[in-house]
Structures are given as C-alpha cells and as structure tokens.
C-alpha cells in the first residue's frame, strides 16, 4: 500500500548548490544570502523592505513590539488559526479578542469586527487562512473609522493576491512563514514586509539583539566597527544557510504557486459535486496560494470527521483536521472563559486537510481522490 504524505517541501538542485556554497564559505550566521533573500521577497511583493526572521511567530512578535502593542491593549483576531496568532499577542501582555469567521472563506468575518472594538483596541490582525486573503478593503475601512491599526498574519499567503495586488501591500506590515508546509520554505523562517522605513529599521535591530549594526554590514566594513545595543532585542535571526535556500525557492515561486493552483483545480473537479463535501470557496477579490487544500464535511461532527481521518490514514493518505479553534484550547479557555464562536467551532469540528504539494504526481493525487470518495 502506498503512502501519500500531507506535504513534501520541494528541494531541487539549486537549493542544494546554494546551501553548499554557503557552508563552504563558512558564513553560516545572518549574512549575504539572507540579504539577497530579503531583496527578492521585497521585489516580488512590491514593498520597500523585507526583514527576515527565524519564523513567522518571531516576525509577528517583533512587528507588534515595533507598533507599541503592550499590556492593556486588545488585538482583534480570528480564533480559527494556528495558536501562534494568539500567543504573540499574549506574550506582549496584550489581550487577543477572538472574532468568529465567515464559514465560506474561513477568514475573520469583517461584519463582526466592529462589535468587538473597545476603547482598548489597538490593532486588528486578520489571518489569510490557508492562503486565501481576508477582505482587506472592509477591514481597513473599519480600522480607519475607529482609529486602530491593521497588520496581517500572512503566514500562508506569500504569493496570494487581493484585488490584483500581492498580499503584503495592503497594510502597515504583513508577516510570512517559510515553514515546510508553506508555499516556499527555508526549513523554518519568517519575513516582515513593509513600506514603513522606521518599522523596518527597528525590526531589523530587534531581530539581531537590538544591535546598532547588522552582521553583514559589520563584516563588510573596512575598518573596526564597534557594535552597540541601544534596544532590548532578541536572537530571532535567519541563518545564511536558510537564506540560501530561500533565494532558490523565490526563483521558482511562480512555478510552485502554479502547481498548487493546478492541483487544487483537480481536487475541485473531483469533489465539487459531492453531496457531503464543501470545496474551498474563492471570492472574486482573491487569488489564493492553496498552501493547504481543506475540505469541509457536511452534516458531520468531530467524531465522524475523526473516524474519516483515521480511515484515510489507514489507507495511506496522510491527512489532518483543519485549523485550531484557539479559544477552545486549554490555556485560552482557562484564561478568557467561554467564548461563543459558532462558525469557528463548526469549521473546527468538520474540516480536514488532504495532501497537496507541488511535485505531487497525477497517480498519487488520483489515489487520494479515490480513497476520499470511497471512505465517504
């Protein structure tokens, strides 16, 4: 019996060659490969600055600090997200305020944001779930009306488009992930993208211990450089080895996205007419990445969904439940008590993610389709 993995990051000859060059150079810490990676991401997205970090989580944490989010502040977020979305807020001493999702898009329901705003609201942080952009025009309008900021948890969304523009160009800043399940990968890694010069400069410093000079500038300087640490920073740097991998991945990002969209279209045709399956919805304003392919099972509960997942795994199809409902996780349930988010909870109980990765073969995808249909 064959086994189809949930995901398999693409690693080609160019990634291996660039990584080998970096290793041979001996420059393994933050360096020129990271700088080149940042430049490629900034140019691709269409912003002035891209600042690499060790993960999307650390990128978000630094972005929140740069924007002054701290104790007593509230940040509006969807609960239907990976738990890091709320954790970075909680670590700042601020309070995540959970808002329900739109069950069609799995993104924050912009119609419910306004009722969650209080005098303590500092920020709205939408999540572009599995690479489908949230409705940024409406979210930005609400934020302007109430005098609050917007940044984007765009972990899954590098390469996605909202109203014809790349995600990362619609707000003060956005943060991407390069985890192995994402569109491109550096193993682990993240990136802040922004047109804000001051935010970019401070983020770059905070990511590298609060240093006054970054590693590459220090090494390239002809004379002695004395580094000072005027800010209280972190070691959130991306390594030069990871940067080299990112450079090669960015060179083929268009192909990686095309393959994901093509594979998703095959799944759409296979499952679109099934009476018990809801395929991903794509509104006219969005062009998603299909970082994952998520199905919802009609008229199911968590117990039935889990039985389906177990059966598929026994047939060699690696799959997983959909996304966290953060407000139901033990820490947040204890911290903030009962929160009623019916669409989030329905999605949490009835969604499943099935295999999709760029070099998935036609035979392997056909096998996944066959097994999903047979189990249902």
Radius of gyration of the chain (CA): 21
The pLDDT score that the predictor gives to residue 1 is 75
The third-level CATH classification (topology) of the domain covering 254-375 is 3.90.1150
Domain 13-251 in CATH 3.40.710.10? The answer is no
pLDDT tens digit string along 323-369? 999 999 999 999 999 999 999 999 999 999 999 999 999 999 999 99
- Is a pLDDT exceeding 80 seen at residue 222? no
CATH code 3.40.640.10 region(s) in the chain: 13-251
Residues designated catalytic: 182
Looking up tokens 């309008």 gives 141
Band of residue 19 on the pLDDT scale cut at 50, 70, 90: confident
CATH code 3.90.1150.10 region(s) in the chain: 254-375
The pLDDT score that the predictor gives to residue 352 is 98
Looking up tokens 């999702």 gives 101
131-135, 203-207, 209-213, 338-342: segment of lowest average pLDDT:
209-213
- Is a pLDDT exceeding 90 seen at residue 264? yes
Q: What is the pTM of this model?
A: 0.95
Q: Which string of DSSP letters, residue by residue, matches 321-374?
A: E---BGGGSHHHHHHH-----HHHHHHHHHEEEE---TT--HHHHHHHHHHHHH
Q: Which residues of 240-262 are buried (b: 16+ CB within 10 A; e: fewer)?
A: bbbbbbbbbbbebbeebbebbee
């Amino acid at each position: 019996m064959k086994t189809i993995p949930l995901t398999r990051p693409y690693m080609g000859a160019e990634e291996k060659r660039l990584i080998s060059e970096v290793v041979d150079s001996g420059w393994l810490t933050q360096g020129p490969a990271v700088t080149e990676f940042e430049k490629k991401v900034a140019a691709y997205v269409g912003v002035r600055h891209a600042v690499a970090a060790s993960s999307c989580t650390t990128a978000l944490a630094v972005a929140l600090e740069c924007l002054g989010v701290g104790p007593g502040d509230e940040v509006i977020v969807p609960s239907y997200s990976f738990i890091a979305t709320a954790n970075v807020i909680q670590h700042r001493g601020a309070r995540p305020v959970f808002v329900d999702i739109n069950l069609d898009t799995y993104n924050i329901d912009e119609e419910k944001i306004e009722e969650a705003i209080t005098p303590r609201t500092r920020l709205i942080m939408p999540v572009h779930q599995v690479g489908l952009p949230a409705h940024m025009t409406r979210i930005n309008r609400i934020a302007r009306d109430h005098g609050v900021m917007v940044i984007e948890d765009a972990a899954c969304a590098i390469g996605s488009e909202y109203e014809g523009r790349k995600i990362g160009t619609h707000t003060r800043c956005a943060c991407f992930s390069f985890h192995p399940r994402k569109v491109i990968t550096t193993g682990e890694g993240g990136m802040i993208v922004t047109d804000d010069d001051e935010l970019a400069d401070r983020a770059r410093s905070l990511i590298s211990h609060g240093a006054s000079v970054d590693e590459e500038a220090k090494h390239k300087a002809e004379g002695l450089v004395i580094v000072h640490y005027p800010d209280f920073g972190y070691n959130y740097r991306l390594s030069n080895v990871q940067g080299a991998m990112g450079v090669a991945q960015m060179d083929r990002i268009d192909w990686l996205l095309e393959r994901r969209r093509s594979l998703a279209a095959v799944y759409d045709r296979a499952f679109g007419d099934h009476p018990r399956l809801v395929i991903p919805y794509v509104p006219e304003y969005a062009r998603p990445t299909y970082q994952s392919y998520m199905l919802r099972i009609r008229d199911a509960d968590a117990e039935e969904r889990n039985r389906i997942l177990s059966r598929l795994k026994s047939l060699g199809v690696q799959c997983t439940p959909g996304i966290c409902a953060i407000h139901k996780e033990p820490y947040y349930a204890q911290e903030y008590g009962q929160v009623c988010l019916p669409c989030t909870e329905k999605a949490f109980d009835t969604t499943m993610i099935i295999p999709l990765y760029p070099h998935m073969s036609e035979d392997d995808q056909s096998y996944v389709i066959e097994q999903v249909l047979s189990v249902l």
